[in-house]
Amino acid sequence: MKKESTLLTPLKRFINLLKLDKKDIYQVFFYAVFSGIVSLSLPLGIQAIINLIQGGRVSLSWIILVLVVILGVAFNGVLKLMQLRITETIQQKIFIRSSFEFSYRFPKIKYTEFNNSYPPELANRFFDTLTVQKSVAKLILDYSESLLQIIFGLLLLSVYHPFFILFGLLLFSILYLIFKLSFQSGLKTSLTESKYKYKVAHWIQEIARNYFGFKSKVEADFALSKNDKMVTEYLKSRESHFQIIKRQFIQLIGFKILISAGLLLIGGFLVINQQINIGQFVAAEIIILLIINSVEKIIIGLETFYDLLTSIEKIGQIVDMELEEISDEEYNYCYKNILFEIDSLNFSFPYSNKKVLNNISLKINQGETIYLDGNNGSGKTTFMRILAGLIQTNTNSIYINDENYKKINITQYRSQIGIITAGQTTFEGSILENITFNNNSVAPERLKWVLDKVKLTNEIKKMPNGLDEFILTDGKQLSSSITQKIVLARAIINHPNILFLEDPFDKMDNDQAKEIIDFIVSKENNWTVIVTSKSEYWKQKCERIITLEKGRLISDTN
């Protein structure tokens, strides 16, 4: 069952995001209040200066008022600088939280959550963090300042004449209608646009990942053709979103024309009838311009608001993915031996009625070497990954040392196994990091033993930086054979009780592969080995062959 967070709307997610930094946001708002008061006190100063100028002489009061206005401008600048400092801190916090959220969640997301998605493509959602950073800062600054300027401005105008109270009510009504009528459609088109944007980005990623496969003219033309289709869909959705933005801007222009014309006519009428003086009229026009500019900021800022909500929703798709159920309890002991007992195991993937595994029963003792045989689609990989704890199941059919599989501490269990999955490779970092993950408990003697056994010692000696040699993603500058040896070294460095191996040495030459296989199956290691491979040598060397067919156990021979 999905977490409650899947019920959240983008707007609710945004509110929850703001709650994390509410103290900082309160500070920005506090400074915005002062900034708004200072900004709107300036027209009053200008009004007083104009009244003094009408007297036709320079006075001390006039000079003091000019200085006060200049100081007000400078003070307002200082307040904005303090707001910028706070919003920069908020941006840094957003980036830190998002990076750790992604780094924490991806290793713990349930395997079945990736059934219909590509994890590296989902990781691209992290780039929406940058949009969230900039958008949150902009909206906090612009919206807080603009809303306060509108409110304070209307309060100040109402002192001049009761008519401005009606103006304020009209203004808020128009703002509400503009927001109400376009918000849902604007958000919907923004989400659609984002979907196609990521499709284009993913396709470019696919081209880059398989760049050797797009070298010929036919292949390159196909890459461009497919990109053209996706970009066309993106442009359609982008244009739909722009129509919402354009409509809002047209409404803004009409609003500005209507308000400006009305206020100039009525303000002039009030001056002619001596209900306000010329200084009040000038001050009122300055305040009205500030209000109109604030309204413009809010309406134009809606596009940023849509981008923000869309980015939060994209990040939320990762946050909503179900995590594995991992106990928080500390473990202080290790399994010396691991005995598997599988009793009538059945398994189907979510949203599928097809059984991948059907009524499998067997026992696996510590130290056995087992070759999993079967055609593609027989269930070998799924069976192995269930035993390795990569696919968690609610079944009561698996027992480890007579304890129900669901009750064991999965973190403790995983510390006792080594695993190589199909396609597993190196990450960007040093060779030492790829093997040990900077685990300080790995003794130098143990590391040397592992490098010797997997035939890596001579290879590393040839590298300028030895174990500190920096390698790229997938070990691009290394041979595929060396990459597989590094992955194997990683799997056995902590001398696990069980090794789960999926096609581990398919890219090595036969002689080296046979030497390493002899080492892996050697009884001196006393680890259980469960392997799938097309290599006949594995089948010859393993003492037990388990054959699956269409999810069923059809033979178990020694």
Higher pLDDT, 465 or 266: 465
Convert 61-108 into a string of H (helix), E (strand) and C (coil).
Answer: HHHHHHHHHHHHHHHHHHHHHHHHHHHHHHHHHHHHHHHHHHHHHHHH
527-539 residue pLDDT tens: 999 999 988 999 9
Under CATH, which architecture does the 4-319 domain have?
Up-down Bundle (1.20)
Higher pLDDT, 277 or 238: 238
- Which pLDDT value is given to residue 154? 76
Range(s) of the chain covered by CATH 1.20.1560.10: 4-319
As a whole number, the mean pLDDT across the chain is 84
Average pLDDT (336-357) is: 86
294-341 residue pLDDT tens: 877 887 888 888 899 999 998 988 888 888 877 666 555 556 788 999
Q: Is residue 455 scored above 50 in pLDDT?
A: yes
195: its two tokens: 């979907």
- Among 32-41, 141-150, 403-412, 459-468, where is mean pLDDT lowest? 32-41
Q: What is the DSSP string of 189-257?
A: HHHHHHHHHHHHHHHHHHHHHTGGGG-SHHHHHHHHHHHHHHHHHHHHHHHHHHHHHHHHHHHHHHHHH
> 3-state DSSP call for residue 266?
helix
- Which pLDDT value is given to residue 489? 95
Domain 340-557 is found in CATH 3.40.630.30: no
Average pLDDT (494-522) is: 90
Residue 8: enclosing H or E segment and its boundaries?
Answer: none
Contact 389/324 with Cβ under 8 angstroms? no
Q: Is residue 125 scored above 80 in pLDDT?
A: yes
Average pLDDT (363-367) is: 92
Higher pLDDT, 95 or 9: 95
32-78 residue pLDDT tens: 777 766 666 666 666 566 666 665 555 666 666 667 667 777 777 77
- Which pLDDT value is given to residue 133? 92
Higher pLDDT, 542 or 251: 542
- Which pLDDT value is given to residue 35? 72
pLDDT band, very low/low/confident/very high, at 431 (cuts 50, 70, 90): very high
- Which pLDDT value is given to residue 467? 93
Strand 528-532 and strand 498-502: the pairing is parallel
pLDDT band, very low/low/confident/very high, at 1 (cuts 50, 70, 90): very low
Q: Which residue has the tokens 């892996």?
A: 520
- Among 5-19, 46-60, 226-240, 435-449, where is mean pLDDT lowest? 46-60
Average pLDDT (434-451) is: 92
Higher pLDDT, 369 or 145: 369
Higher pLDDT, 55 or 209: 209
> What percentage of the chain carries pLDDT values higher than 70?
90
Q: Is residue 357 scored above 60 in pLDDT?
A: yes
Range(s) of the chain covered by CATH 3.40.50.300: 340-557
d(CA 501, CA 370): 10
pLDDT band, very low/low/confident/very high, at 371 (cuts 50, 70, 90): very high
Contact 485/454 with Cβ under 8 angstroms? yes
Helix 444-453 and helix 480-492: axis angle, to 10°? Answer: 140
- What is the pTM (predicted TM-score) of this model? 0.79
Q: Is residue 2 scored above 50 in pLDDT?
A: no
87-122 residue pLDDT tens: 899 999 999 999 999 999 998 888 888 877 888 888
- Which pLDDT value is given to residue 6? 47
Average pLDDT (176-192) is: 84
Q: Is residue 3 scored above 60 in pLDDT?
A: no
Average pLDDT (422-434) is: 90
> What percentage of the chain carries pLDDT values higher than 90?
33
